[in-house]
Amino acid sequence: MRYNDRKLNVWRSFGMIGNHSKMALSEMGIAAQKTWICLLQTIGFAIAGGIALTSCTPSQTDVPPTPIASPTITVSPALTPSPIVSPTLSPSPTDSPTVTPSPTESPAKPANVLTIEKQVTDLVAKVGNLTVQSVTCPDAIDETSGKTYDCQVQSDVGAFVVVVQPTGQPGKFRWGTRGLLLLSKLDTFIQQSVANQGGGKVTVDCGTKARTAKRGETFDCKVTDAKGKIRTARITVRDEQGNVYLSVL
């Protein structure tokens, strides 16, 4: 089986409060060939559905190709799947529940900041299935400025950042993660890519939860086919936005 160079952009929506994820994978090589997959992982506060299929320019170097939008679906004779990319989404605000700050919270912070910290704690725990140990946002958040603010999160998988952007209405904000990969989503898209390439059904094990994403880090996923043959999928983190290179050894 031969794999042509491809780049795959996938937006995947999930969550009960309008959260969506986009993760990126690229550089998947089997039989001395590479399949480019891009799976950029972010988590958003609101969600809009829709997946469109596009084609991409093949990459000849280690730099991923630039996607070229196309309204049609094309499949090569070698069963190479068409890349998947979502349209640009502008999430709409969704009401967040009113939260009463805990008496143990620092009284120096305004009530709106304490509320946002509690909401971020609940959202990250639900979406990422993580145990959140602490969330620390800036001491002052202007909910009418339209600015973004970095909240530092400590969890059972490590430290990462949640970026919040108030919408101008009390208790409403958009949010996304920086420096975090959702491994369950990575498992799913590796399975889909292998199946679309004619590799049949496989099981993928990248871990049970999520992991922090620091540039240059590598980690392995286990890929097992229907006959029990095991391959290693090696992932290299390109940046904290969730871009990674993936190669099947």
Per-position DSSP letters for 110-163, written without gaps between them:
-HHHHHHHHHHHHHHHHHH---EEEEE--S---TTS---EEEEEEETTEEEEEE
177-223, pLDDT tens digit by residue?
999 988 888 888 788 878 887 888 999 999 878 888 889 999 999 99
Considering the entire predicted model, what is its pTM?
0.53
The confidence score (pLDDT) of residue 245 equals: 82
Task: Indicate the domain borders of the chain.
Answer: 9-90+181-248, 111-176
d(CA 112, CA 43): 22
CB-based contact 45:63 (threshold 8 Å): no
In sequence order, what E strands does the chain have? 9-13, 20-26, 28-30, 33-35, 52-53, 55-56, 67-68, 84-85, 132-136, 149-155, 158-166, 173-178, 180-182, 202-205, 210-212, 218-225, 230-237, 243-248
Residue 236: pLDDT over 60: yes
